[in-house]
Chains A and B, each alone.
Chain A
Amino acid sequence: MNRWSTQAIDEGAERALFERRAQALRAPEVPPLASVLAAADARGDAGTHASARAARARVMVALTLAAACLAGVFVRVPRPGGPSSIVADVDAGSPRRGTQAAASPLAPVAQAETCTLSDPGNASETSACFTPAAPVAQASLFTPFTPAAGVPRVAAVPPAAPVRDVAPPSPATPVSYDHPGDDDSACELRTTCEACGSCEGDTP
């Protein structure tokens, strides 16, 4: 006889114990069926009214929330003809320029505009240096990019001679860097060059 069959027999004995106990206990006074049915019917009617009120309340709350969301969207989205609150970050002296440029939606475009090719034949390599960061501002999702009126565009500059002592890079004063073994590939903007890790004149 395995363990489970033993348990089954024991369970029968335990059931007998409970049966004996049930016989020993006094028969309980249960509520009459009529009163239970009356209470169920009464509560059913009350529950119907209560559920209708709750449904109306839920609809009102949903409508209020939807209206608030729409109002918030209309307030936040800039109008095409309205004043633009986007200001380009062109502060070259700021030590956190890279972070600020990444945070500004105008920064990648401005950096791309300052990058000029020193050699037309080296276009692919040079363009690979500049990986425009994805715009992070929510406003750029709604309106196409239009440079602000006060932000000057940096014109393309001719290729400069190699410079040893390099000043801190600036979009207004692009600087060329020497690449070991490849003097023709010069990046104009140091801070966004990802392929120039071994450039001479590396400055913070």
Chain B
Amino acid sequence: MTLSLDEGSGDPAAPAFFDEREDVPCGRSALEGMYPVLAPRVHRFQCDLLGDAALASDATQETFVRAFRRVGELPTGTRLAPWVFGIARHVSLELRRARGRIRRVLVPTDDGSHADVPDRTARSPEAQLLDREAVDVVARALDALSEDRRAVLLLRLDHGLSYDDIAGLMAWTLAKTKVEIFRAREVLRATLEEYRGGGS
């Protein structure tokens, strides 16, 4: 049994993770309401970028501290989730510059468990195995990517941001954003093919 990309739903118009419309208020109360959903995602984003769970917690707190300080200055109609992810990326870059490059620590431990241990309490053994394979494949692919490509791949595939939002928060053109995401997905597919070839 190997992990395959064909297991997904295949829906090209996958729903966004954050239902944000233009008329949604973007004040402090709205951000407080989004915090329970947004904070775990920002933490995972920081953990993927920094490779350290403890550092990711600090980065998450710093991200939301900055967000709550500046949320009152946002113009009406600003989409909060891309804006918060933009702050998160800046925070991760600052931490990375401050502490140097940090290697990802998704390595198996001696007892066979994983450093980022999956929650195995409510899933079948088969699902647990697939989950673990997904963690391994994605971690390997992310390790092979540059900082920027890793960020845009995570923002697109893991957090469901649109190309326009990613281009805005990365300060790139739309064309460059699509190209970078395409290259990152190529690396992801190659890693998965390598994994499937090795497992068969």
Give chain B residues whose Cβ lies under 8 Å from the Cβ of A24. Answer: 118-119, 128, 131-132, 134-135
Give chain B residues whose Cβ lies under 8 Å from the Cβ of A15. Answer: 8, 14, 157-158, 160
Q: In the bound complex, how far is the Cα of B58 from the Cα of A29, in angstroms?
A: 11
Give chain A residues whose Cβ lies under 8 Å from the Cβ of B160. Answer: 15
- Report whether A26 and B5 are in contact in the complex, using a CB–CB cutoff of 8 Å: no
How many B residues, CB 8 Å from partner? Answer: 52
Q: In the bound complex, how far is the Cα of B69 from the Cα of A22, in angstroms?
A: 29
B83: Cβ under 8 A from any A Cβ:
no
Q: Which of A13, A20, A40, A43 contacts B10 (CB 8 A)?
A: A13
How many A residues, CB 8 Å from partner? Answer: 34
Give chain A residues whose Cβ lies under 8 Å from the Cβ of B64. Answer: 31, 36, 40
Give chain A residues whose Cβ lies under 8 Å from the Cβ of B55. Answer: none
Give chain A residues whose Cβ lies under 8 Å from the Cβ of B69. Answer: 40, 43-44, 47
Give chain A residues whose Cβ lies under 8 Å from the Cβ of B156. Answer: 11
B41 to chain A, nearest CB (A): 8
Q: In the bound complex, how far is the Cα of B193 from the Cα of A189, in angstroms?
A: 88
Give chain B residues whose Cβ lies under 8 Å from the Cβ of A37. Answer: 32, 68
- Report whether A21 and B135 are in contact in the complex, using a CB–CB cutoff of 8 Å: yes
Q: In the bound complex, how far is the Cα of B80 from the Cα of A194, in angstroms?
A: 73
Q: Which of B6, B61, B134, B135 contacts A31 (CB 8 A)?
A: B61
Q: In the bound complex, how far is the Cα of B32 from the Cα of A22, in angstroms?
A: 23
Q: Which of B8, B11, B68 contacts A36 (CB 8 A)?
A: B68
Residue-wise interface mask of B (1-30) relative to A, using a CB-CB cutoff of 8 A (1 in contact, 0 not): 001011111111110000000000000000
A88 to chain B, nearest CB (A): 60
A30: Cβ under 8 A from any B Cβ:
yes
A37 to chain B, nearest CB (A): 6
- Report whether B12 and A20 are in contact in the complex, using a CB–CB cutoff of 8 Å: no
Select the stretch in A1-9, A65-73, A195-203 that faces chain B. Answer: A1-9
- Report whether B7 and A27 are in contact in the complex, using a CB–CB cutoff of 8 Å: no
Q: In the bound complex, how far is the Cα of B7 from the Cα of A9, in angstroms?
A: 11
Given A22-B44, A28-B43, A31-B61, verify A9-B12 contact (CB < 8 Å): yes
A183: Cβ under 8 A from any B Cβ:
no
B123 to chain A, nearest CB (A): 8
Closest to B139 in A: A21
Q: In the bound complex, how far is the Cα of B11 from the Cα of A141, in angstroms?
A: 75
Closest to B4 in A: A13
Give chain B residues whose Cβ lies under 8 Å from the Cβ of A30. Answer: 39-40, 42-43, 57, 60
Q: Which of A11, A16, A25, A28 contacts B118 (CB 8 A)?
A: A25
Given A24-B132, A28-B56, A44-B69, verify A14-B8 contact (CB < 8 Å): yes
Given A5-B12, A12-B12, A16-B8, verify A27-B157 contact (CB < 8 Å): no
Mark out the residues of chain A between 63 and 93 whose CB falls within 8 Å of any chain B CB in the assembled complex: none
Given A31-B61, A36-B68, verify A17-B14 contact (CB < 8 Å): no
**26 interchain pairs, CB-CB under 8 A:** A10-B5, A10-B185, A13-B10, A14-B188, A15-B8, A17-B134, A17-B192, A18-B134, A18-B138, A18-B157, A21-B158, A24-B128, A24-B131, A26-B117, A27-B40, A28-B53, A29-B57, A30-B40, A30-B60, A35-B61, A37-B68, A39-B65, A40-B65, A40-B69, A43-B65, A47-B69
